[in-house]
Amino acid sequence: MHNASAESLTQLRQIYDSNKETALQEFFTFLKFPSISSDPAYAQDVAACAQWLQEYIADMEFAVEIWESPGHHPVLYASWYGAGRDAPVLLIYNHYDVQPVDPLDKWISPPFEPTIRDGAIYARGAQDNKGQCFYVLQALKTLKARDGSLPMNIKLCIEGEEECGSSGLSRLLSEKASRLKADYVAVVDLGIKAPTVPSITLGIRGIVTMEMEVSGPHIDLHSGSHGGMIYNPIKALVEILAQAYDQDGRVTIPGFYDDIDPLTPEDKAKLSFDFDENEYTKTFGAPATGGERSLSPLERNWLRPTLEINGIWGGYTGLGFKTVIPAKAYAKLSCRLVPNQSPQKMGDRIARFLEQQAPPGTSVTVKVSEGSGPAARAEINSKLTKAFALAYQEVYAKPCQYIYTGASIPVAAALARTCQGELILLGVGLDDDAIHSPNERFSIDRLEKGTLLMARGIEFLAQSLPEASPSKSSTLSTSEWEDGL
């Protein structure tokens, strides 16, 4: 098995390499679409990008559909059922939309003119998520080029609204549930621990966001004439927010740590909690002193809910001084959730707590936003995880580690639930890919590694499963099977 394995990897690498120049040109074409989903001005570009992708995937002999969404950022759905009606189905999730580009003046080369420097491709979306989407497609193409076929049935779900909350896909889930059905679901939008450390992400946190408004007098007042009389809404705001944390960094909101489904000690022991405090401080300019003091940094970030103030504003913020007591003050908050915590329930809990802290003479309203999503977790002992752990190990020539991330992919849990399949969270992203910042980049080397990782992972998964047999209850319905042929 090991020798056959090494041989397959070599073959796949040779095929990929022989096609590398063409693939790079195609990737550049993909990157040139300014498919910024959060700005309606780019709606045409998002649609054009989906159109290009549809043709590209159709050329791979997949059946491709465009599912329109209310926000005009269509979901691209594709399927290949050549492995036979009774073969298992793997659904792979990516997104083709990208983050905005400002501040534009910080880009060394224009964000939608891909440029290679020092072995990396610089462009908006180079990693997140066009890069990771593109190597998924290259993996499928490479396998097909070698074998004329794929070892299992594949569905692709590539959405165009991940960067603005996935509301279109979220709404389509129930309507398209039968189409999305899969035995395995791979969300390929994650990263590895370090450039030479292969790692599978076993969990992402959920998220719920909200905006808080403190109201005091009905007009702005002079802080000399009214200071000491009116209750300053900014003072109320800082007092309320400060009350949400205790001196040990714990969130004091009742129920904040309820409902948590903890990891088993066995599973926890398998995670790599190594954390280099010096390296962190050097990279980010500050040590990891936030959050619950009694826990280690990665435990706090991966396995605990957190509440962050993402924005605050009120009063006079210009040059010089204006001695004003403003009528209102504001904050934006986000709460990251761990498995078993409900975004709605947590949002309501936090909102109620903050509203109840309003000092006399002020009032507080908290609006919980749409676009929330629960945490998601992958099983460390599943066949799916084991198959991809082997693939990571083979491609990186090192044992695969297991990590979590504190970040969120709001739609991931709902997608896995809709598909009714096992979930895995994959990718070869790195912390310094600058994915939401100027000069986003992705190394040419990782485009290849990602391709091989996905191809070999699919092979390992297919090999680990029992032979398909007509007696097994099929994931594909008759009509779907016929549509897909």
Q: Rule CB under 8 A: is residue 224 a binding residue for its own copies?
A: yes
Q: Residue 456: which of 388, 399, 397, 401 has the closest Cα?
A: 388
Check: CB of residue 444 under 8 Å from CB of residue 123: no
What tokens were used for 453?
């990782």
Q: Rule CB under 8 A: is residue 262 a binding residue for its own copies?
A: no
CA atoms within 13 A on the CB side of 445: 9
Q: Which run of H or E residues covers position 367?
A: strand 363-368
Smallest distance from its own copies to CB 284, Å: 4
Q: Rule CB under 8 A: is residue 369 a binding residue for its own copies?
A: yes
Q: Rule CB under 8 A: is residue 344 a binding residue for its own copies?
A: no
> Which residue in 171, 268, 270, 322 binds its own copies (CB under 8 A)?
322
Q: Which of residues 70-129 bind its own copies (CB under 8 A)?
A: none
> Which C-beta is closer to its own copies: that of 11 or that of 437?
437
Instruction: Put residue 400 in one of left, alpha, beta given phi > 0 → left and psi -120 to 50 → alpha.
Output: beta
Q: Which of residues 146-175 bind its own copies (CB under 8 A)?
A: 164
* Segment lying near its own copies (by CB under 8 A), choices 13-21, 169-177, 202-210, 382-390: 202-210
Measured distance CA(48)–CA(242) in Å, rounded: 47
Measured distance CA(133)–CA(125) in Å, rounded: 10
* Segment lying near its own copies (by CB under 8 A), choices 52-60, 324-332, 340-348, 466-474: 324-332
> Which residue in 37, 232, 401, 443 binds its own copies (CB under 8 A)?
232
Radius of gyration of the chain (CA): 24
Q: Rule CB under 8 A: is residue 317 a binding residue for its own copies?
A: yes
What tokens were used for 143?
């396998």
* Segment lying near its own copies (by CB under 8 A), choices 29-37, 63-71, 114-122, 235-243: 235-243
> Which C-beta is closer to its own copies: that of 239 or that of 348?
239
> Which C-beta is closer to its own copies: that of 389 or that of 430?
430
* Segment lying near its own copies (by CB under 8 A), choices 171-179, 260-268, 356-364, 441-449: 356-364
* Segment lying near its own copies (by CB under 8 A), choices 135-143, 146-154, 310-318, 415-423: 310-318
Q: Where are the beta strands (DSSP E) in 242-290?
A: none
Sequence-distant (6+) residues with CB within 8 A of 185 are: 90, 91, 92, 93, 415, 416, 419, 421, 422, 423, 424
- The three-state secondary structure class of 13 is helix
Q: Rule CB under 8 A: is residue 64 a binding residue for its own copies?
A: no
> Which C-beta is closer to its own copies: that of 178 or that of 283?
283
Measured distance CA(333)–CA(348) in Å, rounded: 13
> Which residue in 10, 323, 381, 463 binds its own copies (CB under 8 A)?
323
Q: Rule CB under 8 A: is residue 234 a binding residue for its own copies?
A: yes
